[in-house]
Copies of this chain bind each other. A is one copy, B any other.
Amino acid sequence: MNETTSRQRSRPERVAEAIKDWVVENGLLPGDRLPGEAELIARFAMSKGTIREAMRLLQAQGLVVTKTGPRGGSFVGKVSKDRAHALLANYFYFQNVSIDDIYQVRIALEPENAAAVAGHLSADQIGELEEILARYAAPARDADEERAQHIDSLRFHARLASFGQNALLGFFIGFMAQILTDLTVYKRLYSERNLELWRRGLRHQTDLVAALRRGDADAARSIMRDHMETARRMMEDHEAVVMKRFMAE
């Protein structure tokens, strides 16, 4: 590939790479202790500054966390979902992704997820979904309340995605819900009301929960597909907003 253009890597980069490899080869797990600064300085025969820059490279990726004080030091970190969202959002910052692009993917993935989790939810999980649903059971009275409801409705999808067994599918769906949430906060989407479509959306979600509870995968898939297509239509009027912002960490 681009080995031809492979420029000389800086020392911190090489050290970070070496530590990463070392963690993998030894099968270290989140929370496991890494060598302290002093030992790394000795082992790599490099200065404190270089070692620290290497640790910062790993820290930014969520691969290590550090604590000060006695019993402190560096530890293997489990990359959090939020951090993965943020890092991925950075990539899309300079890509042009429209609302409709997001919905094209949601329509392909969300029905699949709904079908997959049908009949595999605990009572607690069903309860949590119903609890979220209850937060927007009545029409919003102003724009702020409507925005809050919309965010809750996205949270419904994010939670549902997290309940599945397929971490890949769950992450993709959760990422899109996060993007739409951020756009809602920053762009005042849904400022225009459409009561009819709103009512249909709510109906979809309650029907969906019922289908999930009785384990009807086909119904769940079908309801989710309708729901997604309704939601997409709600967006059609709005400009094709593109993602243009770095996400907060």
Q: List A residues at the B interface (Cβ < 8 Å).
A: 12, 16-17, 20-21, 23-24, 29-30, 49, 52-53, 56-63, 78-79, 81, 83-84, 87-88, 90-97, 101-102, 104-105, 108-109, 112, 116, 165-169, 171-172, 176, 245-246, 249
Given contacts A30-B94, A84-B88, A108-B112, contact A101 B166 (CB under 8 A): yes
Query: In the complex the two chains form, is B169's CB within 8 Å of A91's CB?
Result: no
Question: Which of these, B58, B59, B97, B165, contacts A168 with CB under 8 Å?
Answer: B97
Determine the chain B residues whose CB is within 8 A of the CB of A21 once the complex forms.
Answer: 246
**Ranked 6 nearest A-B pairs via Cβ:** A60-B60, A84-B91, A95-B167, A56-B56, A79-B91, A57-B60
Given contacts A24-B246, A49-B49, A105-B172, contact A88 B90 (CB under 8 A): no
A97 to B16 alpha-carbon distance, docked (Å)? 25
A81 to B91 alpha-carbon distance, docked (Å)? 7
Given contacts A20-B246, A101-B169, contact A62 B49 (CB under 8 A): no
Query: In the complex the two chains form, is B17's CB within 8 Å of A249's CB?
Result: yes
Most buried by B among A29, A90, A169: A90
Query: How near does chain B come to A68, taking the closest CB pair, in angstroms?
Result: 9
Determine the chain B residues whose CB is within 8 A of the CB of A94 once the complex forms.
Answer: 29-30, 78-79
Query: In the complex the two chains form, is B108's CB within 8 Å of A168's CB?
Result: no
A197 to B172 alpha-carbon distance, docked (Å)? 30
Determine the chain B residues whose CB is within 8 A of the CB of A79 once the complex forms.
Answer: 90-91, 93-94
Determine the chain B residues whose CB is within 8 A of the CB of A165 once the complex forms.
Answer: 101
Question: Which of these, B61, B104, B109, contacts A105 with CB under 8 Å?
Answer: B109
> Which residue on chain B has the smallest CB distance to residue A101?
B166
Determine the chain B residues whose CB is within 8 A of the CB of A246 once the complex forms.
Answer: 20-21, 23-24, 63
Determine the chain B residues whose CB is within 8 A of the CB of A171 once the complex forms.
Answer: 91-92, 95
Determine the chain B residues whose CB is within 8 A of the CB of A101 once the complex forms.
Answer: 165-169
